[in-house]
Amino acid sequence: MKILVTGASGFLGRGLCPALRAQGHEVTELNSKNCDLTKPASLEPFSGEHYDRIFHLAAWTQAGEFCLTHPGEQWIINQQINTNVLAWWHARQPQAKLIAIGTSCAYAPGSDLREENYMAGDPIEELYTYAMTKRMLWTGLLALHKQFRSSFLYAIPSTLYGPDYHTDGRQMHFIFDLIAKILRGHYLGETVVLWGDGNQKRELIYRDDFVYHLLALADACENDLVNVGVGEEYTIRHFAELICERVGYPLSRIQFDSSRYVGAKSKCLNITKLRSILPARPQTSLEDGLTRTIEWCLETRTYERLPQS
Ligand SMILES: NC(=O)c1ccc[n+]([C@@H]2O[C@H](COP(=O)([O-])OP(=O)(O)OC[C@H]3O[C@@H](n4cnc5c(N)ncnc54)[C@H](OP(=O)(O)O)[C@@H]3O)[C@@H](O)[C@H]2O)c1
């Protein structure tokens, strides 16, 4: 198949594009440098091709407090990106199936995180704008399908992790931040302070497992949204314990700062639908996934760079 991937240079795209090529597909990789999707005409140079699938991964965001401090820019940029991609798909590539990525942050805190509830209630305040742009992306897919029978899939991942994450000093997803802090404690002698009381729970999915799921769902599902997680969450304290064991750093030296922003108390996707569509799925164990991720952090020495604020 001919496949176009937006956000190909991102953490997910760097896993997806090689997997697509390994399946024998011809892949066009886009990023903000070769195709700035905030510009309405940015995709015109690609209109000459007829793509079978468009994987739309591009989004302007970071983890940590980024969404809290950039809501206005996030609204403008992500709305522009999504509108331009959907408009081009409709006008120039109506034959293509569009596969877009949602976010677990769009679910209202405290609700059952199953697909029927994706648009119900309000997302957590700190991630409100980012979450709402993802809900608008889902709304756009539904609207185009309703009027023009366009074909799509909307996949909602839990937090992705694994080797090959960013090394540019941006604000990191919690697990990379946790690993970096513990490595800094071990190798640089810094005090390790974790935000929150350690009891907030999080779910992780190994990036390459998510890629496997995404490719299988792209074949199996039509015009639907599907949660893609592992169905289990653990406390930050538990993640810290596993990392400490691997690094050789005493858990007792970690300090917890309950006054800092920690986001939702719990965030675990309901994966009943995923299980029914893909009963047999690969799942990298948390222990193996963390070991590989820590090894990658050590090889790339990412923990030595402090994140930009
Ligand atoms: N990582 C996670 O845990 C996670 C969880 C849930 C959902 N998601 C969603 O999954 C998708 C991929 O996530 P990710 O972690 O791979 O994100 P990422 O690493 O931040 O990558 C974002 C991608 O979007 C591109 N991009 C940003 N602004 C752009 C613009 N103006 N024009 C064109 N491209 C632009 C970036 O290009 P440059 O490299 O050139 O900047 C990059 O390729 C996103 O939609 C994200 O919201 C991710």
User: Which of 60, 178, 267, when mutated, tests ligand 1's pocket best, judged by the most ligand atoms within 8 Å of its CB?
Assistant: 60
Q: What is the mean pLDDT of the segment spanning 281-298?
A: 95
pLDDT digits (tens, 9 = 90+) for 66-109: 888 999 999 999 999 999 999 999 999 999 999 999 999 999 99
Predicted confidence band at 308 (pLDDT cuts at 50, 70, 90)? low
The per-residue pLDDT for 240 is: 97
Which H, E and C letters describe the chain, residue by residue? CEEEEECCCCHHHHHHHHHHHHCCCEEEECCCCCCCCCCCCCCHHHCCCCCCEEEECCCCCCCCCHHHHCHHHHHHHHHHHHHHHHHHHHHHCCCCEEEEECCHHHCCCCCCCCHHHCCCCCCCHHHHHHHHHHHHHHHHHHHHHHHHCCEEEEEEECEEECCCCCCCCCCCCHHHHHHHHHHHHHHHCCCCEEECCCCCEECEEEHHHHHHHHHHHHHHCCCEEEEECCCCCEEHHHHHHHHHHHHCCCHHHCEEECCCCCCCCCCCCCCHHHHHHCCCCCCCCHHHHHHHHHHHHHHHCHHHCCCCC
52 lines ligand 1 (CB under 6 A): no
Confidence check: pLDDT of 263 > 80: no
The per-residue pLDDT for 258 is: 86
58 lines ligand 1 (CB under 6 A): yes
Q: Give me ligand 1 centre to Cα 244, in Å.
A: 30
38 lines ligand 1 (CB under 6 A): yes
The per-residue pLDDT for 31 is: 98
pTM: 0.96
Ligand 1 atom nearest 8 alpha carbon: 43
Ligand 1 atom nearest 13 alpha carbon: 16
The per-residue pLDDT for 67 is: 86
Confidence check: pLDDT of 307 > 90: no
pLDDT digits (tens, 9 = 90+) for 3-39: 999 999 999 999 999 999 999 999 999 999 999 999 9
235 lines ligand 1 (CB under 6 A): no
The per-residue pLDDT for 162 is: 98
